[in-house]
Structure 1
Amino acid sequence: MVAQSQNKSMTGRLVAIGCNYEPWIALLEQSGWKTHCCYDLRTADSILEEYSPCICVVDLSNNDFSLNSISLRANKTKQVKWIAIIKKEQLKTDAICQFINNFCVDYFTVPVPGSHLLDTVGHQLGMLEIESRTWVEITSQHDMGLFGESKSIKQLRDMVRRVAMTEVNVFLTGENGTGKELIAKSIHNLSKRKNTPFTVVNCASLNRDDDKMSLLDGSYRQEDGTRFTGTLMLDNVEELSKDLQEDLLTYLQAPASETLDGEDAADIRIIATSSADLEAAVASGEFSKELFYRLNVFHIKVPTLRERGSDIFLLAETFLTKFAREYSTMAASFSEDSKQLLLRYSWPGNVRELINQVKRAALLAEGSEVRAEHFDLPSKANLKQSLRNIKDEAEKDVLVAVLETHRGQVASAAKDLGVSRATMYRLLNKHNIVPDSRHYNNGFIRD
């Protein structure tokens, strides 16, 4: 049953981007909706932040906006239901259809049927109210490396959501700068511990007498005198000394209620992080094998920025909007040469390096456009190699997707792609994909 347009528990708020004051807007206001029309996307950003939770109607019928800019905003907004207005012939445009499929709860073709739209936004308002009761805020999701549409980042988001609702220890690995601490915070904020402390311990700076290690044995007390309850992130866990590895293992092996003084034990969830090859450290005897298995209950490998393809530019746009507002500069877009530079650079410092580079560019840009010279990056990066990597990643994603569609059957997948079976097997070998229809399970191909 469609919800009534005027919800008793939540005020109807609607943001109309690129819309003139049309009859359907007047109809909404007569029904009690609070509306705001705007054409400037920066203004829309602040309004959406202020109005959330809300409905956002974006008029794409006149091609007034970059679809990429609208997608960027739709992807990062929280508790906003997006509705598109288009011309009927735009349904033949793949980019428009993809935007509607990825981000919108509905769409209307011009002229907009006011009564139908009123019913739709009323129903979506009801859905927002249900969501608001259980909504868990994720701290600056797009700053955590969780923002994007690449396959690797979608898998990361899914793993974070799944493990957050459990109490198991988590082991985060990945290169420096990929955002492991911020992802650990996301896990904490999505868990039932979200209202308890999130404490980060840098293992490289610890010694056995450090007060922070008393979090483990239960002797540490919070301000109200109770034992510590929360999430403890052990950063660079490979740096723990042998003595501290032994102490941590003893804590993890002890029954939950057991302490040396007989009092209540600390209630701690541990998230360990490492940028090193901890398995190699275990093999060499530098790290305790037993401790490794205790920490590595649920392993998440954080992808590098270079593994995320076009997410690089999506992130760059997000950071540019943020820093331009923070530093009151006019920087609003990237020139074509700066886009090429962003995409071909290998980003050894990952998201952290990208943040610093965009911050620099936002400060140096004299007008609205950021150019290549505003970045402190090599001007002759290996463009050919970077483009090859992007092409290979896209090729692999297509192969996996087609195999999933055909449930691991190589012959039918090859026919769908318009290649011979021999070519199909050559491509599968190139990307180390092992198709076996007998092992097909729940839509995934097991290697």
Structure 2
Amino acid sequence: MVAQCQNKSFNGRLVAIGCNYEPWIALLEQSGWKTHCCYDLRTADSILDEYSPCICIVDLSNNDFSLNSIALRANKTKHVKWIAVIKKEQLQTDAICQFINNFCVDYFSVPIPSNHLLETVGHQLGMLEIEASSWVEITSQHDMGLFGESKSIKQLRDMVRRVASTDVNVFLTGENGTGKELIAKSIHNLSKRKNAAFVTVNCGSLSKDDEKVAFLRTSTADLKEDGELRATGTILLDNVEELSKELQDELLNYLQAPANDTLEDDSHCDIRIVASSSSDLENAVLNGEFSKELFYRLNVFHIKVPTLRERGSDIFMLAEKFLAKFATEYSTMASTFSEDSKQLLLRYSWPGNVRELINQVKRAALLAEGNEVRAEHFDLPSKANLKQSLRNIKDEAEKDVLVAVLETHRGQVASAAKDLGVSRATMYRLLNKHNIVPDVRHYNSSFMRE
């Protein structure tokens, strides 16, 4: 079938790197494709940015380019389907095979069969359209877990898009309040299971008395017409580090079961597992608190959800979105932020991340009397309070060091001062500042007991 582009939502766009103007390019253009041939990789970078989403055919048959340079571009481009043109004997080269396997949707050996190429690029154009429409759908749902323009959130969106189309288990890590559940829902909504159930299981609420793998077997079960019980969908295991040893073993047994194995004689499971954790699960594995085998089964594709403080100007973009939402919900006039409130939002470290931002903007929307939200409408520390907090942290750290050094030198001020590299006078001043009274007798009596 010859690829036709007239009925597409966007015209077929194709970039040919290192390709001569050959008959197959002319045939593509006759079929409605907009093509661009180039030989310079820097020019290719700008063209790919402009043309994306597009098909990119790269001619590797003459070894005109560094394979590593092409691989770097293939790895960073989004919404680009790569097709390689090679000589048949190049299939004996490991690097070529690895490139094709990692980055290409197809390859052709010269001479290129024009009709076959047209069918391939036409199919890939259709796949690009599906991906593009799916991505618009997910980002138009006001999914705040993926909203923003910072580098970290763009990388997160790309990882979600890539892994959603697969069946692999996903492991989400990140601080509390970063939106891990929203990310899990996005993965589900972009997957082939989007019309099936999405179930969140709080692992901290499960006990050893729960029915074996009931949270896997029954939570997404749909009764088919023929009576067969089929469980399908996505399960988010939230706070997976809180699973008991017994349930860790049950979950591991389920994951280790052969493909299409049943949990019951009349049931069949097709469940994708997304696990999330706010703690250091690798450390828990090292300490024997979490099953090593289960960790590796869950951690097939790891996504670290960025903190709000890592997202820069996204903070203010999110705040504006939330303000519009809550102002409508609570019928208030709040619509803008004053300059001092903007500075406060950007300066604060947001230990509670997006969840804390939501609560703060909700409060501000309720308290604002006019259309402007001011700094006093937030329950956040002022600049003076932030300075005071930093001073307290510094003082506590200084006190801890003094006590530790005194203990090391068994209350001997002179030797402790020498160890710290300060004079005895400075040492006594610091001790007075923190109300520390060294008791040499205490340290000596402790020493005698030892």
TM-score class normalised by the smaller sequence: 0.5 to 0.7
Tell me which residue corresponds to 1:119.
Answer: none
2:145 paired residue number: 145
Distance in 2 separating the partners of 1:8 and 1:174: 40
User: Please, which runs of 5 or more residues in structure 1 have no aligned partner?
Assistant: 10-126, 387-447
Question: In structure 1, what is the equivalent of residue 311 of structure 2?
Answer: 308
Q: Which structure's CA Rg is the greater one?
A: 2
How many aligned positions are there?
A: 265
Partner secondary structure for residue 290 of structure 2: coil
CA distance in 1, matches of 2:364, 2:238: 30
8 Å contact 2:220–2:233 — kept in the other structure?
A: no
Structure-2 residue corresponding to 1:351: 354
- Answer yes or no: is 1:258 the counterpart of 2:261: yes
CA contact (8 A) 2:221 2:232 kept: no
The answer to whether the aligner puts 1:342 opposite 2:345 as a matched pair is yes
Q: CA RMSD in A?
A: 3.1
Cα pair distance change 1:383/1:170, threshold 3 Å: farther
Q: Is the 8 A contact 1:217 1:251 kept in 2?
A: no
**Alignment check: 8 A CA contact 1:252 1:294 kept:** yes
- What one-letter code is carried by the residue in structure 2 that aligns with 1:147? F
Q: Is the 8 A contact 1:217 1:259 kept in 2?
A: no
Matched residue of 2:138: which SS?
coil
Give % identity.
76
Give 1:70-149 correspondences, 5 Å limit.
134-135=133-134, 137-138=137-138, 142-149=142-149
Higher mean displacement: 154-163 or 204-213: 204-213
Inter-partner Cα distance in structure 1 for 2:152 and 2:308? 10
Among 268, 273, 284, the alignment partner of 2:271 is 268
1:144–1:183 contact (8 Å) kept in structure 2:
no
| Inter-CA distance 220–213: structure 2 relative to 1 (3 Å threshold) | farther
Q: Distance in 2 between matches of 1:177 and 1:248?
A: 26
Give the direction of change, closer, same or farther, for the CA distance of 1:382–1:213 in structure 2 (3 Å limit). Answer: same
Structure 2 unmatched runs, 5+: 10-125, 391-450
| Corresponding residue for residue 422 of structure 1 | none
Matched residue of 2:349: which SS? coil
- 1:210 maps to 210
Counterpart CA distance in 2 for 1:219 and 1:362 is: 38
Does the CA-based 8 Å contact 1:221-1:227 persist in structure 2?
yes
Q: Which amino acid aligns with 1:178?
A: T
Q: Which amino acid aligns with 1:182?
A: L
CA–CA separation in structure 2 for the residues paired with 1:149 and 1:379: 27
- The aligned amino acid for 2:352 is G
- Aligned equivalents of 1:187 and 1:153: distance in 2? 15
Post-superposition shift, 1:139? Answer: 7.1
Q: Is the 8 A contact 1:174 1:302 kept in 2?
A: yes
Partner SS state of residue 230, structure 2: coil
Matched residue, 1:324: 327
Q: Deviations over 1:346-392 (max 9, x none)?
A: 10000000011001101111101000010011113548999xxxxxx
Deviations 1:252-277 (A, max 9, x none): 01102223543342110000000000
Partners in 1 of 2:359 and 2:351 — Cα distance?
13
Question: Is contact 1:344–1:382 with CA below 8 Å preserved after alignment?
Answer: no
Aligned pairs (5 A) from 1:415-434 = none
How many angstroms does 1:213 deviate by?
A: 2.8
Aligned to 1:247: 250
Structure-2 residue corresponding to 1:229: 232
Q: 2-side partners of 1:222 and 1:211: how far apart?
A: 19
TM-score (norm 1): 0.54
TM-score computed with the length of structure 2 as normaliser: 0.54
Identify if the C-alpha distance between structure 1 residues 141 and 250 changes in structure 2 by more than 3 Å, giving closer, same or farther.
Answer: same
Shift of 1:322: 1.1
